[in-house]
C-alpha cells in the first residue's frame, strides 16, 4: 500500500534542529515525495527525513594497517623496558633494558652491549650506537 501525503498532514520526521524524531507537519510536496516539513516542537522548516532511514553516518574508511613487525617489537620492548630512561649520549653507559631518547631516532631500547657500542632498537629499526660501555 502506498501512502499518499499532502501538505498540512502530520508526519514523523527526524528534526535537524532537535536532533530527534518528532511530529512534523508537511509543508511542501514534490510530486509524491515529501519535500519540506515543519517541526511542531521547534517550528523549524527543513527537509523531510524519514525516521526509519538510518542516519547518514560517515564511516571513516579503515586504513589497512600494515602490521609492522619492527614497530610491534619496538612497542613490546618499550612496554617491557624497566631500565632507566636516558637522553642518548655517546658518552653514557647503558644497561640492557634501558630506554634511550635520541634526538633524531626517538626512543629506543638497549638490547645488546658491546665494547663502546650498544644495539638500540628504535621504532623503525635497530641501530648500533656508540656508548661508553
Ligand atoms: Zn525541531
Give the pLDDT confidence score for residue 67 in this predicted structure: 60
* DSSP one-letter code for 77: H
Give the pLDDT confidence score for residue 55 in this predicted structure: 62
Give the pLDDT confidence score for residue 4 in this predicted structure: 77
Question: 31: CA distance to ligand 1 center in Å?
Answer: 24
Question: 114: CA distance to ligand 1 center in Å?
Answer: 72
pTM of this structure: 0.48
Mean pLDDT by 10 residues, the chain (133 residues): 80 94 95 93 94 71 67 89 89 93 95 94 93 87
Cα-based distances in Å from 117 to 36, 65, 100: 74, 34, 13
Question: 40: CA distance to ligand 1 center in Å?
Answer: 7
Amino acid at each position: 500500500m502506498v501512502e499518499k501525503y499532502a501538505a498540512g498532514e502530520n508526519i514523523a520526521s527526524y528534526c535537524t534542529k532537535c536532533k530527534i524524531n518528532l511530529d512534523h507537519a508537511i509543508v511542501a510536496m514534490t510530486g509524491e515525495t515529501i519535500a519540506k516539513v515543519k517541526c511542531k516542537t521547534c517550528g523549524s522548516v527543513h527537509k523531510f527525513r524519514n525516521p526509519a532511514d538510518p542516519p547518514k553516518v560517515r564511516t571513516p574508511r579503515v586504513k589497512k594497517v600494515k602490521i609492522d613487525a619492527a614497530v610491534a617489537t619496538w612497542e613490546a620492548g618499550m612496554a617491557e623496558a624497566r631500565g632507566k630512561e636516558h637522553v642518548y649520549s655517546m658518552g653514557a653507559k647503558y644497561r640492557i633494558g634501558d630506554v634511550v631518547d635520541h634526538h633524531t631516532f626517538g626512543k629506543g631500547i638497549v638490547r645488546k652491549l658491546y665494547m663502546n657500542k650498544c644495539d638500540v632498537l628504535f621504532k623503525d629499526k635497530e641501530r648500533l650506537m656508540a656508548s661508553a660501555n
